[in-house]
Amino acid sequence: MIAFTEEALGVMRRALRGGGVELRSEQHAIEGYDAGPVPADSIPLWLGANGKRMLEVTGRSSDGWVSPLSVYVKPADVPARQLTIDEAARAAGRGPADVRRIYNVVGMIGPRAGGSGLIGDVGSWVDTLTEWAVDLGFDTFIFWPNAAPHSQLATFAGEVVPAVRERVTDSRVTKPAAAALTEN
């Protein structure tokens, strides 16, 4: 499975560049595949991974890590996975920033009404997602509401997302300045 996935990423990259794709290996038998048309913009290849070996493939060969649902990979478990991705990226001659980080967030915006995941008002969502972006390194959140998806999505997009963007931007602007002050 690991070798198949990594090889498949290479096949997809060649196919997205257009032209002929051929590969004979233990994992694939592709002959005479004429790929195309070439997309107007680059199409990123992201992997949903959780185990160490697939996280290494993510770092070496993918454009993004889609973390399993936040109820399965708890925030406390994220740094070790991020480190595995970062080390694999560096070993492959890539920068860790070359791999986007996506977190699937389960929950409800509003009073606790059952369900699992992140539950709380808009302010607690903004605080938590800002922390996960700044401290855990996620740059994208996919929201999986426990109920009322239309109203939840409207609140997420209209209130949570703009506030998180603003706070993350502010945090990234002030952190370098604070670090410079402590060095002097």
| Rounded-to-integer distance, Cα 182 and Cα 173, Å | 15
36 membership: H or E segment, kind and range: none
pLDDT at 114: 66
| Rounded-to-integer distance, Cα 175 and Cα 84, Å | 25
pLDDT at 175: 64
- For the entire predicted model, the pTM comes to 0.83
Nearest residue to 159 via CA among 122, 128, 129, 130: 122
Helix, strand, or coil here: 158?
A: helix
pLDDT at 2: 85
Nearest residue to 137 via CA among 96, 87, 92, 95: 96
In degrees, rounded to 5, the angle at the alpha carbon of residue 15 between the alpha carbons of residues 65 and 45 is: 10
pLDDT at 113: 64
Residue 62 CB contacts under 8 Å (≥ 6 apart), including other chains? 9, 45, 46, 47, 99
46-178: CATH number: 3.20.20.30
pLDDT at 107: 94
pLDDT at 182: 40
For the chain, the structural domain boundaries read 1-43, 46-178
pLDDT at 176: 57
pLDDT at 180: 44
Record the tokens describing residue 134, joined without a space: 């700044």
- Counting as low any pLDDT under 70, the low residues of the chain are 112-114, 175-184
Nearest residue to 72 via CA among 42, 51, 99: 51
CA 37 to chain centre: 27
Residue 35 CB contacts under 8 Å (≥ 6 apart), including other chains? 14, 15, 16, 17, 18, 19, 20, 21
